[in-house]
Amino acid sequence: MDIQEVIREQVSSNPVVLYMKGTPQFPQCGFSATAVQILKHCGVSAVAAVNVLENDAIRQGIKEFSNWPTIPQLYVGGEFVGGSDIMREMYESGELQQLLADAGAVGQKG
């Protein structure tokens, strides 16, 4: 499986996927930390987090997959949402909460 197929499988088999630097418990950059906090504030209980620092092929491949140059990148319901700035704007308008609720990603504990 090439890296684009791996990424396609990750985003299609998980309701919420966050490609980030580090992990949700230990983000390695401020933008990734912001993205994790926004998802927590939205009530997302399960995020498939992919640490791009652990795999250079994914780190480069995700930029090509989305045609978006920066990380973090959020995918909900298999669709690219954006980075931390877009997440913040959508959160402030309530759009992100609705998108996550529609994807069934909010409020389902363990």
> What CATH number should be reported for the domain holding residue 98?
3.40.30.10
What was the pLDDT predicted at 104? 87
Q: Is 29 annotated as a binding residue?
A: yes
- List the domain range (segments joined by +) for residue 13: 3-102
DSSP secondary structure, 66-95, as one string: HT--SS-EEEETTEEEE-HHHHHHHHHHTH
What was the pLDDT predicted at 107? 65
The answer to whether residue 109 is domain-embedded is no
Is there a contact between 1 and 61 (Cβ–Cβ < 8 Å)?
A: no
User: How confident is the model over 61-105, as pLDDT tens digits?
Assistant: 999 999 999 999 999 999 999 999 999 999 999 999 999 999 888
pLDDT: which is higher, 109 or 32? 32
No. of H helices and E strands in the chain?
Answer: 5, 4
Q: What is the pTM of this model?
A: 0.94
Is there a contact between 19 and 71 (Cβ–Cβ < 8 Å)?
A: yes
Our count of domains for the chain comes to 1
